Every structure is written in structure tokens, then in C-alpha cells.
Amino acid sequence: MLQHLYRFALLLLKYVLPLVCIVQFLMITILLPLNGDIGWLFHATQEWLQGKRLYIDIIEVNPPMVFLVMAPAVLLSKGLGLSAALTTKVYLVAISAAATFLYLRIMRKILPQTIFSYVFISASIIIIFVMPEYDFGQRDYLAIVFLLPYLISRFHESHGGGQLTGGKFYEAVIIGFIGGIGVCFKPYFIIFPVVGELWLFMQCNRRFATVPVQMASMFAVIGAFCCSVLLFFPSYLTKIIPLGIATYWTYGHPLKDFNLPYFLILLLGLVFATYHINIEIHRRLTQYVSVLTFSALISFLVQSHYSYQLIPFKVLLFINFVLVISLFLIERPQLKSFSSVTGSLMAVWIVFVTGGLIYRKADVAQYVITKSELPSFNILGYSYLSDAVDVINENFAGQPIYVFSTNVWPSSFITTYTKSHWVSAFPALWPLPAIEFYESHSYMLQEKKRMQILAVKTDVINRLTMELSLNKPVAIIVDTSISPSYFPAGFRYSDFIVRNDELETLFRNYKLSTLKLKFFENKTYDVYVINEYHI
């Protein structure tokens, strides 16, 4: 009887659990709206492909690689006539799955077959696809997913796997190519291959007669990208980087919001546990991933502290957690029964959770299957977003509108789900809080920061007034909260407008309407309409 249960548990872990994890991910993807940053990047890429100039007509702090990667989704949407939300989600799933497949192919050569088949595949699906939830597809997410094949392949080579040659040459080129793309999403991500290579050199001291193919491919991509920025996007270096340095510091969350002490305790515990893994290559693998995890933490700390910027750290941390626990247990046959029972219970729990999710949202699943399209906000339970779509489409369909908000979600929402026209070059007016801080609390800033803000202040205000004057939006939507999203200090857009002569003059042409919009459940936006416009 116990033998039959054991075999059933193995079958469940090997064949059923990966499928259940995939179903869980697909349900989460369907139930969540398109990520705000991703929706804006789709729109900005669309505008760029239609002729607008990146970093001149489109103001964005992300390097050009983000737009190059998003371009196929835009072209597919246009060519197939599919919605932006559906095309983007399918495209991001496809490229993430391809990179994950390469990563798993290499891990299969390193790990014991039992761990790889019964534990690691399902765990990787949960960690890489399910865990990010709303942040799936963000730049930091794609960076670590694209870099994993490179990082693991270099470990495999350095520990006797040999260089990828012959028929595997093209695979090595692809691994380096997508790894290079991952680095080019943000300059911070160069820390992963650099730290990884340094650790491998110090631990293994293996020297190849030639440069490894994937390394050459990666740095060829990085070099070509840097040259293209200098040649084709000089405004990114001369305009956007100074603007970001001067004004983007007001964004982000306090570090206490991220439970970093608990993650750090777990990471240190895993580092300690690696020394109790007896097989050398497995011990070195877990130590290598630990070093990369510390690198991911450093990368997060030097950025502006958003949840999605922590994804590389969490992905590496939990991959290492699975590796350490699995490799530790498999070396101890006396714990075989404990391992089997624990694994089976976790598998049953995941199946139960997924089944419950499908049961509760059966109508949504049925809608997607029968209609082959994403469900509406009403079906998903976001009635306030459905109301916002109705208000905008009924009153401003085909009309230009403008939004004063520090959060990118309104721009993504309006361009993805409504019929009105977004006419701002900014995804969100993120420079204004810093300018406000400079004007009202200049004494609290260092001289260097004051000079940086002063250097961009006039250009930002002139840009806003020019956009409002030329585009003549019929509606201006204004965030009414005292502390707009991601800005911790008190700040009101309405107060900022009144204190600025140019903006205040333009706003005399608008009147406050009775319309109210909610892009977030707990946040209301006022709607100003141009005086001669009737709603």
C-alpha cells in the first residue's frame, strides 16, 4: 500500500504538478489587469514606431532596449488585430518561457535527475512565473529571466561541462545574446555577469584557450547597444539621465516595506547550509547562486526601491532555497520518507489552491476559453475601472486628454483600455514633486541637488505648458491625493498649478466638472474640462 502511494506521489510530482503550476500562472495572468509600466511601454513603443522621437517626443527614463524588446509585441498587435493587453501578455509569456526553457536545459545537466524531474521544474515555474504576479514582465523580471541561462551555463562550463561548440555553438550564441539584452535593460544588471565571472575565476581558476562563446556574444550585444545609444539616442545621455538624476529621487518606498531583514536571515541561513552539502559541484552551485543573490540585493539597494526591482533577488533567493533543501535531503537517505511525504503534501496543497482558484473563477475561465479574449473589468471584479472606462469613452472618445499624476497606471489604463488620446510625452509627471520640493524646501537639499533641479526645472515647466497649449486637451485629469503614489511628502497637484504662473494661466481655460474617476480603488481623480466643452 505504501509503495503504491509512493509511486503515485512521484507521478504527481513529475507530471501533474508542473501542469497545475502552469494553470495557476495562466489564471493569475488572466485575472490581473495589464501592469501599468508595461502598458505604457507598449504605447510608447507604438508611438516611436509611428515616427515620434524617443527621449525627445517621448520622455522615458528606461534605456532604449526596453522599446526594442517591446517592438515585436506592437507589430504583432497591429498585424493580427489583437488588443494591446492580450498581445503583450501572450508575447511576454512566450519570451519568458523560451528563456526559462534554456535555463532548465542547462540545470538538467547539473542536478540529479530525481531532483530535477520531481522538484525543480515545478519549483522554477512557481518562482519564475507565479511569484511575480502583477510584476510579471517588468524590466527587472525580464532581466533576471534572460540572464539565468547565461549565468548557469557559465557555471556548468567552469565545472567541467566544457565549452559549447559544434552543434551547441548556436545555442551558446543565443544564450549570450539574450543575456546581453538582459544587461541592457538597466546598467545596474552588469553586476550579475561581472560578479559571477569573478566568483567562478576565484573558485575554479579554469582558463579557456578562447573566450567562451556566450560571453563573447553577450558583450558583443552590450557593445553594440552602447554604440547605438551614442549614435541614435544621444538625448538619452544629454537630457533624460540629467532629468532622472535631478528629479527621480522622490520616488520609491522605504526599505522597511520590503521585509528585507527576513530575506537576509534566510539568505544567510542558506549560505551556512551550503557547507553541509557534500557533493562538491552541488555545494559550489548553491554558493554561486548565493553570491548572485547578494549581487541582486545590491542592485536593488542602489535603485529607487519598487517591488519589481526586488524580483531578481527573490527569484535567485528562492531558487537557491529549493536547491539547498533538495540537495541536502537527497544526500541523506535516512530522510527519504520525510522528503517524499513533505513533497507530496506540498504538491497536494498547490493542486488544492489552484483548484480552488479555478472553482471561484470558473466563469472567467469559461469566458476566456469561449471568447478567446481577455475578460472585461466587470467580469474580473474591478467595477471602479469599468466605470472609469465608461466615463472616459462616453465623454471623451476620440478626444485628447491630459493627466497630472505621479503614477504611470493612468497612462497605461487610458492608452490600453479607452478610446481617448493620450497627448503627454510623459508616462507620469514624476519631475514635479522634486521641483515642488526645491521651491518650498530648498534649504533641505544639498547644493549639488539644488543645481541639478534648477538645470531642468525650466525645461520641464516649458514642456508641460507647450503640450497643454498645442494639444488643447478637452479634459485634464488631476490626482487629488495629498501624497500621490510613491511620493512620501505632502504634495498637491492643484496647489502646484496655482503657484505656477504659466500653468495657472492655462488652467483658466478649464472648469472643474462633476465627473470623478478612479484608477485605484482608494484614490479619486478630478476632471477639468475645457470651458467650451459640454459633457
Query: Domain residue spans in the chain?
Result: 36-331, 335-375, 379-530
For the chain, 535 residues long, give each residue's pLDDT as a single digit of tens. Answer: 555 555 666 666 677 788 888 888 999 999 999 999 999 999 999 999 999 999 999 999 999 999 999 999 999 999 999 899 999 999 999 999 999 999 999 999 999 998 898 889 999 999 999 999 999 999 999 999 999 999 999 999 888 765 554 457 889 999 999 999 999 999 999 999 999 999 998 887 655 556 789 999 999 999 999 999 999 999 999 999 999 999 887 777 778 888 899 999 999 999 999 999 999 999 999 999 999 999 999 999 998 888 899 999 999 999 999 999 999 988 887 766 666 667 666 777 777 777 787 778 888 888 888 887 888 898 888 999 999 999 999 999 999 999 998 889 999 999 999 999 999 999 988 898 888 888 888 888 889 988 999 999 999 999 999 999 999 999 999 988 766 544 545 678 888 888 888 899 999 999 999 999 999 888 889 999 999 887 7
Global model pTM greater than 0.85: yes
Q: Which DSSP string corresponds to 463-492?
A: HHHHHHHHH--SEEEEE--SS-TT--S---
Q: pLDDT, tens digit, for every residue of 113-126?
A: 988 988 899 999 99
Burial of 141 (0-12, 13-18, 19+ CB in 10 A): buried
Contact 175, 224 (CB under 8 A): no
Calculate ∠ Cα 130-288-256, nearest 5°: 55
User: Strand 475-479 vs strand 421-422: parallel, antiparallel, or unpaired?
Assistant: unpaired
Interatomic CA distance for residues 358 and 511, integer angstroms: 47
Interatomic CA distance for residues 60 and 240, integer angstroms: 7
